[in-house]
Structure 1
Amino acid sequence: MTMKNKRFQLIALGVLGLMLQACGTPELIIKKEDTRLPTAFKLGDSEKTNTASIKWKDFFDDPNLLSLLDVAVVNNKEINIMMQRISVAQNEIQARRGEYLPFVNIGADAGGDRVGEFTRKGAVEAGLPLANGKPFPTYFGDFRFGLFSTWEIDVWKKLRNAKQVAVLEYMASKEGKNFLVTNLVAEVAHSYYELLSLDNQLSNLEQNISIQKNGLEMVKQLMFYGRTTALAVRRYEAEVAKNKSKLYEINQNITVVENRINFLLGRTSQPIQRASSGFMDLKSKVLKAGIPSQLLQNRPDIRQAELELAAAALNINVARANFYPSFSINAGIGYEAFALKYLVNTPASLAANLAGGLVAPLVNKNAIQAQYKNANARQIQAAYEYEQSIIKAYTEVANQISNIDNLDKNYQLKTSQVEALTRSIEVANQLFKSARVDYLDVLLAQRDTLDAKKDLIETKKKQIDAMVDLYKSLGGGWQ
């Protein structure tokens, strides 16, 4: 073996050793997500039937609400913004896919240069005549055109992993859109039922004002006959005025809620069609919660967090590949000549080139080390976020199951309270006419009945809200 070959081998071994040293990656800890959940929401309940699978068009019965939801899921501005984000994520897949395929370009360029006579190229040109015996020109042209290709060989799957990350992020963005639809459906339903409850509050207040106006006329008659004083009349007048002022408050709240619904529907203010008369007769649906582990499949936010975790884990592999050597191939084929008249001569002007490259980071790897550590930190963060979304979902369902049960009992007692107070108004009026009670007793009976009915309407709204919230918490509302 010649000295030259030995020297070449030593250099090659040295370069290989440096590359192997460059490939060393810092030791990092990958967090494994904890997805453990209780076996049931309530002790002894192992029913697997789950209401989350019901589509919102089948879950809600009110045709006016269904009409609003149809508009909302199509026209809501936030949904449409999210759709564009999904489109961006989809385009990112195409971009990442193209990165690990060869790039082929077509191009042409022209130029000229003058070399120094005492350079290697200049000396050759000075002593080499052209075919026709003339010397090389002082300014030597350079014209070429053809196909040029570059290709980074994806040995470590860096580019393919980056493409798969884009796929996972695209899928996560679609789940994010589903979760947005779930929240939108619930918010429109909440606002619609709030509107119905306000209509009933308005009707209740108007009925009470009518009763108090009758009472006012009665005390005026009694004062005329000297059976009561002007104080009773003034107190009744004040009570009527106070309740009339509340009508404007409720009307303002109705306007606000109507505008909120229109905003959710992505349109300007217009009347909301609704049927409020049967609000107090609405029965909450009996929802099937299934088992906690079903939340992992049914909740879009959990599936989104899971996909983001998978993308974060794969990004670690992408960042790790930056420590390894990168392999590239450059190739080109085309025509090249020092004068345009010779440019397309075949095969004399035909030129081709092929080159391979091998590059690895050696000194000052701070940037890629920081990128690698950041990828690891994001994976740990994504794992915690995934766990948090699971715990949050379980807590929301457990709270709403308990809430529905307690509201049921609360509503029954408030119904009994309203019935008793309604009867008390009639009794108080009879006793007042016979001068057996003071006018204040009548006013208090009317005031207590008004407040009790208001609470009853509010409790009914809470019952309906709890039903909607449980449906949303289970993962329903986006289908």
Structure 2
Amino acid sequence: MKQIYIAVLSIAATGFLHSCVPTQQIKEIKPVVLPATYNNSTDSSNSALLSPQELFTDPHLKQLIDTAIANNYDLQMALQRIRIAQSDVLLGNGALKPRVDASVVSALRRYGLYTMDGAGNASTFMLPGKIVPTNLPDYFPSFQSSWEIDLWGKLKNRKKAAVSRYLASTEGKNFIVTNLVSDLAIAYYELQAIDETIRIIDETIALQQQAFEIIQAKKEAAVLNELAVKQFEAQLINLQAFRISLQQQVIETESRINLLTGRLPQKIIRSKTFAATSLANTIKAGVPAALLEQRPDIRQAALLVRATKADVAAAKAAYYPSLNITAGIGYQAFRPDLLFQTPQSLAYSLVGNLAAPLVNRAGIKAAFNTATAAQQESLYQYSKTIVHAYTEVYNGLIRADNLKEVYRLKTDETTTLSESILVAQELFRTGRATYLEVLYAQQNTLKAKLELVETRKQQLFTSIQLYKSLGGGWR
């Protein structure tokens, strides 16, 4: 009858708690609907499926990428975060199973004589003719077990959250690889662009030196005055100073590459053919829906949504009663020689504990509110990540098309201005042009050449960033 009363009371408490469980709902967020295509393109080819070794043709860059993936410190730290997440999965899996411990207890007890135990022991025979001693030894080797029965899925959801976070940490590592490949390729091509700029500056310095010598000769022949000489000399000095600043940029860019590869500053071996630099394939975007599968940060955000959903379920289950079963079995005696006598020294226990929170549930409520807010945040983050990814690709595709046209026009401009130098020099020799016109022609040509290098560099940067935006680089 007593057991029935306890069961009825437990069922009533469970019903009461169920009625008190918060019903806070997650605010619905309008799902992001991606367009079917980019700019009405029907090409479904996706460059994100290419590995860096397939996309990049420069052997030196390929070697740097391999070195960076092996040694980069951010990537190594990400791998440690994955191991931490693996441990959380093991912890969640272990919570679902019974725990068994081996225990050996050796004790000496003395009960007060004016207590129930002390008074009872003083008149109790442990063995024929032997009363329980005042100082009572106790030896108890045993196996102890405890197990929380997952009635409401609390432990299962905690494990599910841990698994989702483990998978999310893996995607986080992939996202680091994507950014690492992109940053390294951009730095490498920037280094090549600086080399090309230095080459152009050296050519211009050589032409400027020749022009300076001609101006000096005309000044000595009283054809030109000192002003012309100083103008050409100042331009020559300016170019020499600019070259020194470019050399400093080389050092800093090489150091940035070495940092990405986990090395101390050293010389970077690289190709010297920047003008002919290209990728193995033109970057193709495929369809927008592929971003959901290709981008590691979107995949990571989706897994975190799944994890926070499991957190909410686990936090909600904390309102319900928990059932714990504890058990133990072993041998217990007051003398070692009596310890393993069966069944006299055999001791065991089996306890079922059904406990439910009734009063002062502020901690449980706070955990539930925190989990709910975290899930809401993760939903917003997921939508934001999708919008951000699509915007990156959309802008990159338009930028690539525009830069292609800019490069064509800049090439024509450079060709035209290079021809103008020859015309200006010829007119100057025959006295039909001033030295300032020669100087302006050289300056404009130099500017156009440098802008052409910059445009080519931006083309390469845009292709790399588009490759990253599509989710390429981590395979």
SS at match of 2:351: strand
SS at match of 1:363: coil
1:69 aligns with 2:65: yes
Match runs of 1:426-441 below 5 Å: 426-441=422-437
Match runs of 1:125-144 below 5 Å: 125-144=121-140
Aligned to 2:310: 314
1:372-401: per-residue Cα shift (whole Å, max 9, x none)?
111111111001100011000000000000
Q: CA deviation at 1:10?
A: 5.5
More deviation, 338-347/296-305: 338-347
| Match among 371, 390, 400 for residue 394 of structure 1 | 390
| Paired residue total | 472
| Match among 144, 149, 154 for residue 148 of structure 1 | 144
Contact kept? 1:32, 1:383, Cα under 8 Å = no
Give distance in 2, aligned partners of 1:161 and 1:11.
29
Contact kept? 1:258, 1:269, Cα under 8 Å = yes
Provide closer, same or farther for how the CA distance between residues 11 and 191 of structure 1 changes in structure 2, counting only shifts above 3 A.
closer
Give distance in 1, aligned partners of 2:102 and 2:229.
97
Give distance in 1, aligned partners of 2:6 and 2:471.
63
Match runs of 1:195-214 below 5 Å: 195-214=191-210
Contact kept? 2:71, 2:262, Cα under 8 Å = yes
Match runs of 1:325-344 below 5 Å: 325-344=321-340
Q: CA deviation at 1:162?
A: 1.1
Give distance in 1, aligned partners of 2:10 and 2:341.
42
Provide closer, same or farther for how the CA distance between residues 388 and 130 of structure 1 changes in structure 2, counting only shifts above 3 A.
closer
Aligned to 1:372: 368
| Match among 9, 13, 16 for residue 18 of structure 1 | 13
Provide closer, same or farther for how the CA distance between residues 184 and 149 of structure 1 changes in structure 2, counting only shifts above 3 A.
same
Q: Which runs of 5+ in 2 are unaligned?
A: none
Contact kept? 2:57, 2:278, Cα under 8 Å = no
Provide closer, same or farther for how the CA distance between residues 53 and 11 of structure 1 changes in structure 2, counting only shifts above 3 A.
closer
Give distance in 1, aligned partners of 2:3 and 2:304.
49
1:199-220: per-residue Cα shift (whole Å, max 9, x none)?
0100111111111100011111
Give distance in 2, aligned partners of 1:111 and 1:275.
78
SS at match of 1:127: coil
Q: Which amino acid aligns with 1:212?
A: Q
1:450 aligns with 2:451: no
Aligned to 1:39: 36
More deviation, 241-250/159-168: 159-168
Q: CA deviation at 1:13?
A: 3.5
Give distance in 2, aligned partners of 1:99 and 1:353.
22
Aligned to 2:250: 254
Q: CA deviation at 1:12?
A: 5.1
Provide closer, same or farther for how the CA distance between residues 10 and 211 of structure 1 changes in structure 2, counting only shifts above 3 A.
same
Aligned to 1:184: 180
| Match among 83, 86, 90 for residue 90 of structure 1 | 86
Aligned to 2:403: 407
Give distance in 2, aligned partners of 1:86 and 1:200.
42
1:108 aligns with 2:104: yes
Aligned to 2:468: 472
Give distance in 2, aligned partners of 1:102 and 1:22.
26
Contact kept? 1:113, 1:140, Cα under 8 Å = yes
Give distance in 2, aligned partners of 1:161 and 1:26.
18
Aligned to 1:159: 155
Give distance in 2, aligned partners of 1:104 and 1:365.
30
1:138-167: per-residue Cα shift (whole Å, max 9, x none)?
222222111111111111121122112111
SS at match of 2:100: strand
1:258-317: per-residue Cα shift (whole Å, max 9, x none)?
0100110001111111112x2113346422211111100111110010001111111111
Provide closer, same or farther for how the CA distance between residues 293 and 458 of structure 1 changes in structure 2, counting only shifts above 3 A.
same
SS at match of 1:263: helix
Contact kept? 1:86, 1:170, Cα under 8 Å = yes
Q: Which amino acid aligns with 1:343?
A: L
Q: Which runs of 5+ in 1 are unaligned?
A: none
Provide closer, same or farther for how the CA distance between residues 344 and 10 of structure 1 changes in structure 2, counting only shifts above 3 A.
closer
Q: CA deviation at 1:227?
A: 1.2
Match runs of 1:221-300 below 5 Å: 221-276=217-272, 278-283=273-278, 285-300=281-296
SS at match of 1:218: helix
Provide closer, same or farther for how the CA distance between residues 145 and 10 of structure 1 changes in structure 2, counting only shifts above 3 A.
closer
SS at match of 1:323: coil
Give distance in 1, aligned partners of 2:214 and 2:138.
112
Aligned to 1:345: 341
Contact kept? 1:262, 1:269, Cα under 8 Å = yes
Provide closer, same or farther for how the CA distance between residues 224 and 355 of structure 1 changes in structure 2, counting only shifts above 3 A.
same
Contact kept? 2:121, 2:133, Cα under 8 Å = no
More deviation, 462-471/335-344: 335-344
- Percent identical pairs in the alignment equals 39
Q: CA deviation at 1:87?
A: 1.0
Give distance in 2, aligned partners of 1:41 and 1:130.
89
Aligned to 1:218: 214
Using the size of structure 2 for normalisation, the TM-score is 0.96
Give distance in 2, aligned partners of 1:124 and 1:319.
48
Q: CA deviation at 1:223?
A: 1.4
Give distance in 2, aligned partners of 1:14 and 1:167.
37
Aligned to 2:377: 381
Aligned to 1:305: 301
Provide closer, same or farther for how the CA distance between residues 399 and 348 of structure 1 changes in structure 2, counting only shifts above 3 A.
same
Provide closer, same or farther for how the CA distance between residues 8 and 207 of structure 1 changes in structure 2, counting only shifts above 3 A.
closer
SS at match of 1:49: coil
SS at match of 1:272: coil
Give distance in 1, aligned partners of 2:23 and 2:190.
56
Contact kept? 2:92, 2:162, Cα under 8 Å = yes
Q: Which amino acid aligns with 2:264?
A: T
Provide closer, same or farther for how the CA distance between residues 50 and 270 of structure 1 changes in structure 2, counting only shifts above 3 A.
same
